[in-house]
Amino acid sequence: MQRRRRINPYDDARLHMAAKRDKVGLENNYISAVKGRGIFTSVPFKKGDFLLEYRGEQISKQECERRQRTYHDHLKVFMFEFCFDGKLWCVDAAKKDGLFGRLVNDDHINPNAKMKYLAVQGKPHL
């Protein structure tokens, strides 16, 4: 029996980002009224595997601050600020797009996933 070769996580990420689709093996489940929904795996993943992209509109730090002043508290949680290549960026995932990435909110004390940055055509993807 031939063993299936593991795809390189960066190639896997690029494939799913280009297709604008989530991987098989991820589920959107309700947690509680306080936490809302979250993403869970239904198949095993190995350490270092690509899971999903945190997708949204890439905006400047100034625009991010402006939106945070106008957004309701329930939308502010979808703003992800980060530094990439010496520049401050923000991904605004407040707009629903049907993908799971915007629902990721890993445990900050005992995280089981790590955010990585991948440059595609000079722009960062999370």
pLDDT band for position 4 (cuts 50, 70, 90) = low
- Kindly state the average pLDDT of the residues 69-86: 90
Domain map of the chain by residue range?
Answer: 1-53+101-126, 56-96
Task: Give 63's contacts (C-beta < 8 A, 6+ positions apart).
Answer: 90
**Minimum mean pLDDT range among 31-35, 100-104, 108-112, 121-125:** 108-112
pLDDT band for position 2 (cuts 50, 70, 90) = low
Contact between 54 and 116 (Cβ < 8 Å): no
In this predicted structure, the answer to whether residue 59 has a pLDDT above a threshold of 90 is yes
25 is written with which tokens?
């093996």
Task: Report CA Rg, the chain.
Answer: 16
Task: Give 56's contacts (C-beta < 8 A, 6+ positions apart).
Answer: 78, 80, 91, 92, 93, 94, 95, 97, 102
